[in-house]
Structure 1
Amino acid sequence: MKVLCLHGFRTSGSFLRKQISKWDPAIFQDFSMVFPDGKYPAAGKSDIEGIFPPPYFEWFQFNKEFIVYTNLDECISYLCDYITEHGPFDGLLGFSQGATLSALLLGYQAQGKILQNHPPIKFFVSIGGSKFRDPSISEIAYKDPIKVRSVHFIGDKDWLKVPSEDLTRAFYNPLIIRHPQGHTVPRLDENTTKQLREWTKMILQENSDPENVKATNAAHVTSDEGQSVIGA
């Protein structure tokens, strides 16, 4: 199964690959992970300067209140073209700006706004993601709970903790994994590693058994909008 992995603001695909390498390789050993760079070169200082070598990229730009966005439509078009050319993709994984953007793509696809000729994306791994706050976007993308299996990493010390919690409410039955760290791709303890590995195994099993996919999807869609929570 193929996963498109979108990096955070003013970093790079290579840096996200390094961040994910902190996790047990067994978690995604049966997946093909793709780490593209953002559409635009970083227009300012990167938080990883001196930690990881440039170049750095950003997907789009935004104002301080995260209500006004620049080059967002161009970014969405770019990613839709990338997904069509290099896909099909079965899942999305994103950190920070990459997670926020991934959730938007899923919501837009669910509403028939984009990727109409691409198979429905089946799963989503969000690390420190959030919602778009512009009503002209949010009222479309999050109009209905997104029927995609999702796992959300939320840090106790993350400055985006509350927005990340709000994002979980845009999905049916999200798995929430809490960790004591800040706005970062967290290191996982033994219990959390086991839970995430079981989650990816479930994704693989559903994909290999079409009848099972129909049954689990039906149960997934018709169940109450609950949340499973794991504390790291």
Structure 2
Amino acid sequence: MESEGYQIRKPRVLCLHGYRTSGDILRKQVCKWPESVLSKLDLVFVDGPFPAQGKSDVEGIFDPPYYEWFQFNKVFTEYTNFDECLEYIDDCMIKHGPIDGLLGFSQGAILSAALPGLQAKGMALKKVPKIKFIIIIGGAKFRSESLVEKAYSSQIECPSLHFLGKEDFLRPYGTELLKSCLDPVVIHHPKGHTVPRLDEESLPVMLSFVEKIQKMLPGEETDIQAMEADTIQP
């Protein structure tokens, strides 16, 4: 409930797209959600720092250009340009800030889930406030031993919402990620590796999570009260 003179601001969310897609593509994927959810969030969509270095799986479905956040080997244990990626996200959070939380899909979800732990260890996002929540769609944990030690050695304490698809090839890894999170909220859906629509079962869960993170944010003084305060003389 809003206090007199204050208004609740929307959680501002930096949205990290999937591998070899784009911010605009993720916007189209997320905008399948109902207005009752979208109207309560301030979503910021950005492109990854690197142009796609190969064929995109969404060619013929979504138009280019396509981007990626970093590069990796075939078994996903070694990463290239990862430090540059972290610096880029830091800069995006400053440019579009204040950012309250992260939403990620696929490669963007893997990043989003690792960032709170990396930030807590002083390994990432050193210039911005602490991440307050994460929304993980088709995510997983990094497999690099050094990153595992840094990102998940302590539980992810910020509120987290996880989408797990029944047919998603990353489902086992997304399920494993839940063990690294304190009190994760989970939405199960019947689809594969995609941003799912919200049905009558998942919508209340989503709205409850949004309400929870909204309560974490301070109210903002309304213009009227601010102007009245300016007129008071000492």
- TM-score class normalised by the smaller sequence: 0.7 to 0.9
Matched length: 209
Higher helix share: 1
Task: List runs of 5+ in structure 1 lacking aligned partners.
Answer: 210-232
* Cα separation, 1, equivalents of 2:22 and 2:62: 10
Give 1:113 shift: 2.4
User: Which of 174, 181, 187 matches 1:177?
Assistant: 187
Which residue in 2 is equivalent to 1:77?
87
C-alpha offsets along residues 172-223 of structure 1, whole Å, 9 cap, x if unaligned? 10001111111111122112111101110121123247xxxxxxxxxxxxxx
Distance 2:158 2:186 in 1: 14
Alignment of 1:29 with 2:67, yes or no, is: no
Structural mapping, 1:1-232, within 5 Å: 1-208=11-218
Unaligned stretches of 5+ residues in structure 2: 1-10, 220-234
Pairwise CA distance, 1:88:
2.0
**Aligned 8 A contact 1:10 1:56 in 2:** yes
Kept in 1, the 8 Å contact 2:110–2:141? The answer is yes
Q: Percent identity?
A: 51
Q: Is the 8 A contact 1:151 1:176 kept in 2?
A: yes
Aligned partner of residue 82 in structure 1, secondary structure: helix
- Counterparts of 2:42 and 2:149 in 1: how far apart (Å)? 33
TM-score of the pair, normalised by structure 2: 0.86
Q: Provide the rounded CA distance (Å) in 1 between the counterparts of 2:95 and 2:199.
A: 37
Larger radius of gyration: 2
Instruction: Provide the alpha-carbon RMSD of the alignment.
Output: 1.3
- Matched to 2:135, the amino acid is V
Following TM superposition, the consecutive aligned residue runs of length 4 or more in structure 1 with deviations greater than 3 angstroms are: none
* In 2, Cα distance between equivalents of 1:155 and 1:81: 32
Task: Name the structure, 1 or 2, with higher relative contact order (CA <8 Å, separation 6+).
Answer: 2
For normalisation by structure 1, the TM-score amounts to 0.86
